[in-house]
Amino acid sequence: MTPSNERPPTPARRHTPARRHTSALAAGTAAALGLAAVSLAGPASAASTLTVAKDGSGMYTTVQAAVNAAAAGDTISVAKGTYQEIVNVPAAKSGVTIKGATGNAEDVVITYDRAAGYTDSDGNKYGTLGSSVATFSANNLTVTGLTVRNTFDKGAHPEITDTQAVAMTAQGDRQTFRNDRFISRQDTVLNWAPSATGQYRQYFYSSFVTGDVDFVFGNATAVYDRVNIQLRDSGAAAGGLNGFLAAPDTSSAKTYGILVTGSSITSSAAANTYYLGRPWHPTADAVGQLVIRQTSLPAAVKTAGPWTDMSGYSWKNARFFEYGNTGAGAGVNSDRPQLTDAQAANYTAQKYLAGTDGWNPVG
């Protein structure tokens, strides 16, 4: 289903242009950023802190320039300001930390106007992944105290039919996002596993995410712990359709997909206008996995049944569960599968993130 007057059916685009350019983008990122000649070989050196400031008082005036110069393990400290740019942190930059210098995410904003339906200089559509304002591909990455915002306004661009507008793509393993803000409307945060069955774990803590259509989505293992998730009001009347929070496409080979735990979901939207999720099914082995537990739900959530089908794939064939939720949007009925206490013990942030190496960034 699609919110009225919002956009053409999302599933049709997700199966075609939404992922069409993913491989080419992944392969071309390093070359496009001029990183092919960077070598990390040679004697180990102490990690450095690189500073970024728009006014020229730092070592660099753009975040991307600092990323290009950084070695694995370095810290990039970004001064207060609004940085209008696309940022890509490639896989070679393992262990990099990017932090807002003030500690207040509202002070340090990386922003751009980008949509899947926009075209590059060769006339090719960017696609969903290419619409991302910030793409983080490095393992062991930490991002803290930043806002990443995609300002695409579909109302101002009726000629654009592919309206996915990703703020941030996380596509590395052992990535941590603390005290951050991610802002868009459709497809705000992409939790992506370049190899669908590979180990890609991403931890979001004490952060803010907002959107209206499938705005937490993907096939990686991602935990949203003590996060404020805001369902944006698109104007639907009570009982209508404003949007969908999540769209996981977890591989059936993976036990864990997306977990929202100990969080607060808020909205000023009318009652019963939001689904918590729907199962994105772009490949035969995609069986979306999503648990929302011990989280406050607003009246905007469709209490009778907060899950819905996608592209003809039934939500009942996905792995959607709730546990111990509260608030006006909470409820228990036959269309709201609940974990038992015994099951819930295996669906915690620690269990999702432990993987094969016992990683535990929680809290």
Burial of 253 (0-12, 13-18, 19+ CB in 10 A): exposed
- Taking the C-alpha atoms of residue 131 and residue 189, their distance in angstroms, rounded to an integer, is 11
Burial of 282 (0-12, 13-18, 19+ CB in 10 A): middle
- Taking the C-alpha atoms of residue 213 and residue 130, their distance in angstroms, rounded to an integer, is 18
- Taking the C-alpha atoms of residue 79 and residue 63, their distance in angstroms, rounded to an integer, is 10
Catalytic residue among 162, 214, 225, 249: 214
How far is CA 358 from each of CA 92, 224, 264, 361, rounded to the nearest angstrom?
Answer: 23, 18, 27, 10
User: Counting every residue, how long is the chain?
Assistant: 363
- Taking the C-alpha atoms of residue 204 and residue 142, their distance in angstroms, rounded to an integer, is 10
Element (H, E) at 322: strand 319-323
Catalytic residue among 180, 187, 212, 225: 187
Hey, how many other C-beta atoms are within 10 angstroms of the C-beta on 222?
32
How open is the CA angle 322-299-166, to the nearest 5 degrees?
A: 70
Strands 264-267 and 189-191: unpaired
How open is the CA angle 204-206-208, to the nearest 5 degrees?
A: 80
187 is catalytic: yes
Do residues 136 and 170 lie in contact, with contact meaning Cβ atoms separated by under 8 Å?
yes
Distance linking the first and last C-alpha atoms of the chain:
37
Would you please indicate which residues are annotated as catalytic (active-site) residues? 187, 214
